[in-house]
Amino acid sequence: MENHYAIETQSLGRVYKIRNPGKKENKTLTALEGVDLQIKPGELFGLLGPNGAGKTTLIKILTTLLAPTHGYASVAGYDVSKSPDDVRQRINMVSGGESSGYGLLTVRENLWMFAQFYGIESKEANQRIKTLLEIVGIADRANSRSSNLSTGLRQKMNIVRGFLTDPEILFLDEPTLGLDVGASRDVRSFIRRWMDDDPKRTLLLTTHYMIEADELCDRVAIINKGKVLACGTPASLKQSLQKDAIFHIDLDSPKVLVESVFSILPGVTSVKIHDNENKTIMDLVLDEESALANVIATVTSQGAQIVTLQKREPTLEDVFVKLVGQRMEEVEHADAPAS
Amino acid sequence: MAAWLGWKIESNWTDPFLFTIYSIVKPLAAAMILVVMYGVITNNQFGSPVFAYLFIGNAFYQYVANVMVGVSWAIVDDREHYCTLKYLYVSPISIPYYLMGRGVARVLITTFSVFIIMVVGVAFLHIPFNPAQINWPLFVLSLVIGIIMLAMLGLLLAGVTLRMAQYSFNIGDSVAGALYLFSGAIFPLEVLPAFLRPLGYIMPISYWLELIRRSLVGGVAESFPTFAAISDVNLLLILAALSVLFGVVSVWAWKKFDWEARERGLLDQTNNY
Ligand SMILES: Nc1ncnc2c1ncn2[C@@H]1O[C@H](COP(=O)(O)OP(=O)(O)OP(=O)(O)O)[C@@H](O)[C@H]1O
Ligand SMILES: [Mg+2]
């Protein structure tokens, strides 16, 4: 089963059974459906999607923690279902937004122990731990018990644990979730640097932050409701909107503006209106710029005034809106009751 | 390595005082309650072989609870408290091997505690203990086989724990508690109603405790009929055979439960769903 991809999936799917004590029939939930991905060695690949999109489910399947219910997945050329041990030799994984670790052990001990599980020689391990802790800026806490660290610092420790074993393929599930702006930036630049240091390294990360996918990743797959909707470099994804004209308009409106009034106008691809601190903001995608005149006329006829109007470059958010018809935040709020 | 972690976790009760209480004073107190109860019931017949029988059985039974708990509780600990189980699974180490390592610390601590209790028994309660009469080879061999056997039972319970994600109750403790009555620890199996006895006869623990007693105080064991007809060697063979049998079942069950847990996504379940 030779193949030259670091990660490959073919019509990969996962259905969860949800136990329903009251009723006879068990409900099922499709978390992932028909996912086809090919990731080459050396790529920094991003999975971008809102809460509940299936990102964690995909990572769990690829890291051998969860069996797929449909399709096939291979990591480093090994089938995750048939040869999990071969896969485990070559990967590591970190999930953000949780504080794992043996609280009784110091940061150094936690890391050292995991290095031992990967068969890294003790001296080498200590050397790497020292370097990595310095890079993420927690070297001064190396001898603190990990239970005494704040959540953010623990997460940094956890991230170090992922890089420590220098895996062929590294999986990061929302690595910056819950970190403050500065720490997130540190983590992102470290990820980039690690990838640049060795062209054979492969990294798959999930995120629901647009900038993270845009700035960091070589290629991005946009995922929603378990399906991959688009896949490509950030530039090529945005390119698909290049022929469209995108405007960001700040309005001063005495009454609530309704999207449907605008979306029926000729030439309007999509329109999103939301309020932000007494301002009304309209994000507009037009087939061609000439349609703008009509929109402005309608705004005025609704009794609203335009405060600022900017034409801007497309972002991955726009790509998401175009594919899904909703902004990522809206998708998340709609799904709020699901965990 | 896992043993090192086990030691750190088991011994690092932040406080050596608590640690002493937990590993020495508590078992000692339990033994004393037993002694007092015995004294009341039999009118202080401490010289009777019955007393030595139950005292030794009770002391060594600590291994049963501690090893089984040590091995199986690591699953709950790592999955729910430390959230590290998934990272262990993703790593190249074998989980059963890791669990055994976690159990090693318990074995050491238990050995210490059993030793103390035996010393107390011999010094103050006149357990008929004659160092010259101890059958050391039999004792050491039985102890080693027994600990391996208990670790395998622990693996079985670890598999059940892994599979049964919803409740983090201590299955090792419960099973050890239940088996206390069915393995001849404090009274011979004959005391049980006939229909419950087979449980004692298929548990390797019963044979193991008998071997420990025989090797330490030969005379005492002879006054009980349960296994009197079986020679030391045969008893050892039975223990070994049953241990292998349970070992095979445990490994098989572990693999099955492990596979099912992966199938259902239970490896990182932390009671959120
Ligand atoms: N063990 C489980 N049992 C049942 N349903 C589950 C289970 N794990 C996840 N789900 C459901 O599967 C869907 C996908 O979940 P998943 O965790 O993969 O999403 P995600 O993209 O990682 O989202 P988030 O951003 O919230 O982490 C969700 O609707 C979730 O509720
Ligand atoms: Mg997730």
Query: Tokens at residue A107, please?
Result: 């940061």
A138 by DSSP, 3-state: which? coil
What is the pLDDT, as a whole number, of residue A274?
86
Q: Which residue's alpha carbon is nearest to atom 24 within ligand 1?
A: A51
Nearest to A73 by CA among A172, A169, A5, A168: A5
What is the pLDDT, as a whole number, of residue A3?
60
Q: Which residue of B has its CA nearest to A63?
A: B90
- Most B-contacting residue of A28, A117, A120 (CB-CB within 10 A), to test interface: A117
Asked if B92 and A101 come within 8 Å (Cβ–Cβ), the reply is: no
The strand pair at A219-224 and A44-48 is best described as parallel
Q: Which residue's alpha carbon is nearest to atom 16 within ligand 1?
A: A54
Q: C-alpha A250: how far from its chain's center?
A: 29
Torsion of CA A198, A200, A201, A205, to 10 degrees: 120
What is the pLDDT, as a whole number, of residue B272?
47
Kind and range of the H or E run holding B178: helix B171-179
Q: Which ligand is nearest to the CA of A338?
A: 1
The Cα-based distances of A153 to A188, B67, B75, B211, B256 in angstroms read 15, 35, 25, 53, 38
Q: Which residue's alpha carbon is nearest to atom 29 within ligand 1?
A: A52
Q: Which residue of A has its CA nearest to B267?
A: A65
How far is Cα A64 from Cα A54, in angstroms, rounded to an integer? 16
Query: Tokens at residue A121, please?
Result: 């020689």
pTM of the model: 0.87
Complex-level ipTM: 0.85
Asked if A114 and B93 come within 8 Å (Cβ–Cβ), the reply is: no
Q: Residue A117: its chain B contacts at CB < 8 A? A: 1, 88, 91-93, 98
* Strand partners for A70: A13
- Most A-contacting residue of B80, B82, B95 (CB-CB within 10 A), to test interface: B82
How far is Cα A220 from Cα A207, in angstroms, rounded to an integer? 10
pLDDT of chain B along its 273 residues, tens only?
666 666 666 555 445 666 666 777 777 888 888 888 778 777 777 777 788 888 889 999 999 988 988 888 888 888 888 889 999 999 998 899 889 888 887 888 889 889 988 888 888 877 777 777 888 999 999 999 999 999 999 999 999 999 886 666 778 888 888 888 888 888 888 888 888 888 889 999 999 999 998 888 876 666 677 787 788 889 999 999 999 999 999 999 999 999 999 999 888 877 543
Q: Which residue's alpha carbon is nearest to atom 10 within ligand 1?
A: A31
List of residues 6+ apart from B112 with CB closer than 8 A: B23, B24
A321 close to A270: Cβ distance less than 8 angstroms: yes
User: What is the number of helices (H) and of strands (E) in chain B?
Assistant: 12, 0
Q: Which ligand is nearest to the CA of A55?
A: 1
Rounded to the nearest angstrom, the distance between the alpha carbon of A189 and the centre of ligand 1 is 28
Q: Using an 8 Å CB-CB cutoff, list residues of chain B that contact chain A.
A: 1, 4-5, 8-9, 12, 14, 82-84, 86-93, 98, 259, 262-265, 267-268, 272-273
Rounded to the nearest angstrom, the distance between the alpha carbon of A51 and the centre of ligand 1 is 8
List of residues 6+ apart from B37 with CB closer than 8 A: none
